[in-house]
Structure 1
């Protein structure tokens, strides 16, 4: 009689090929905590992780490399970012994301804007928060390509609010297109307050929509002083359209210290850094 013997190993997690579910099982407690930290904050640097976990930078780099290889995060030099950071988050999510940090940024910007000045304010949830923070000012003249910004600031009787012409983007009330660019280029204002979707390590400002970028570039050109407003989730965030190098702005207002490479780029270009 021929006896067939099965050589299949007993079932265990160690012998199961890795998949999206088993990737999470393979993570240790610290790595799970890193993923959660990145998910809530948008991005982190090695330095920030060192302050959070009592381990060496080398260990943290290995953790990040493993998490990137198993598609839990996106790795960049000096840190990591959320997988969702390579796409434009829906407006309703962005509206509430890191609201406390955006409010601190808005207050810091408002403190630098004098009464009776003129300013551009472009599209973005941080910019909308800045608009709300400026409501205690007097006699501002505002040009905006954001219906949300216009709605907020038009409630002040001594403000003069001019809305740019162009195509209204349904998802966030942004106004874009060639007509918007032509409209912006008719003016020369004291300040330009601009938001951004991502800032690369070398300081390149990045966004997702080419038409929105064209309008923002016009605002940079027509502003005597440019304030960039961006919370820490924008550091290292991927977006494929280049807006301008960091040298195109006069100051960056953010809520946490930028990664070392970006901090070095700011210093090299003598860009003011305000951490709210």
Structure 2
């Protein structure tokens, strides 16, 4: 098994988020890595690495082991609760941009997930909306919202994502159409589309996209170009990626080159 110290060094200029992402990648390929090895690799102090590991553990992306080493969690998909505090400011900026795209009186479809849940909270201020959702986070945010009619697309609940999937959800979708759909993602790439942990999720996202006039994928910069799982949803041309100012410029250009409209929230 290759040692993390055999990997090329990473410039400190890439920032703490890029370093944490690289740590997760290394854990995936090597299984274990010590604080000392990571400190040498990234040219930062051991205390900086310990803070990185503590944050990654809190986010559910890694599990700590004895002696300061770390390993991938037994279940690589973080729960919705674990992801709630991740990239909070970025998700809020994305949610605020998406809410400004909505007009009073529209009928919307909301996916499960934390970023779409943040959007649901922003939508409480818009009157005369009809909103259907597959996510418990959005349902909780909208349950007592005045002037918003809420439809729950039931089905089989996935505890990790707190979202409904399966044939009952899909059957309910066939009876409705929407002005806009807002989809979440575990990762999104130019080549393959939306990456998710479960094939039922990717099938559902494709069906959701077909039922709406306008399709938006909400994904903060850390999710662009990432493929943590092996289930994919492909989208027809004409969809919009809503990301934030942390999105790598090369990723934004790559999506735009494929005809995807990219909106960078919080960029001024």
TM-score (norm 2): 0.72
Whether the 8 Å contact between 2:104 and 2:128 is mirrored in structure 1 is: yes
- Which among 32, 38, 48 is matched to residue 18 of structure 2? 38
Aligned to 1:163: 152
Write the mapping of 1:78-157 to structure 2, written as runs, cut at 5 A. 84=61, 87-157=76-146
Residues 195 and 230 in structure 1, CA contact (< 8 A), matched pair in contact too: yes
| C-alpha distance 156-271 of structure 1, shift in aligned 2 (>3 A) | same
- Contact 1:120-1:193 at 8 Å conserved across structures: yes
Cα shift at 1:198: 0.8
What residue number does 2:250 align with?
260
Deviation above 3 Å: which 4+ runs of structure 1?
A: 30-37, 66-73, 84-87
The verdict on how the C-alpha distance between 1:201 and 1:268 changes in structure 2, with shifts beyond 3 A counting, is closer
Rounded Cα–Cα distance in structure 1 between residues aligned with 2:230 and 2:90: 25
- Note the C-alpha offset of 1:203: 5.7
Query: Equivalents in 2 of 1:144, 1:202: separation in Å?
Result: 27
Give the counterpart of 1:204 among 168, 172, 193.
Answer: 193
Cα distance, 1:27–1:248 mapped onto 2, change above 3 Å = closer
Q: Distance in 2 between matches of 1:248 and 1:124?
A: 23
Are the equivalent residues in 2 in contact too, given 1:257–1:275 (CA < 8 A)? no
TM-score (norm 1): 0.70
Unaligned 5+ segments in structure 1 are 1-17, 44-65, 74-81
Deviation at 1:116, TM superposition (A): 1.2
Distance 1:268 1:70, change over 3 A: same
Matched, 1:269 2:249: no
Using the TM superposition, give the Cα deviation of residue 140 of structure 1 relative to its aligned residue in structure 2, in angstroms: 0.8
Deviation readout 1:66-89 (Å, 9 max, x if unpaired): 99987879xxxxxxxx9x599422
Q: Distance in 1 between the 2:198 and 2:30 partners?
A: 29
* Matches of 1:183 and 1:110, distance apart in 2: 24
Q: Which residue of 1 aligns with 2:224?
A: 235
Deviation at 1:208, TM superposition (A): 1.2
Relative to structure 1, the CA distance from residue 158 to residue 33 in structure 2 (aligned partners, 3 Å threshold; closer, same or farther) is same
Label 1:31 to 1:274 Cα distance change in 2 as closer, same or farther (>3 A): closer
CA shift at 1:171, angstroms?
A: 2.6
- Number of matched residues? 225
Point out where structure 2 has 5 or more consecutive residues left out of the alignment: 39-55, 63-71
RMSD: 3.5
Cα deviations by residue, 1:104-125 (Å, 9 ceiling, x for unpaired): 0011111111111100001111
Q: Which structure's relative contact order is higher, taking Cα pairs within 8 Å and 6+ residues apart?
A: 1
Three-state SS of the structure 1 residue aligned to 2:77 is coil
Aligned equivalents of 1:230, 1:189: Cα separation in 2: 21
1:46 maps to what in 2?
A: none
1:173 matched to 2:153? The reply is no
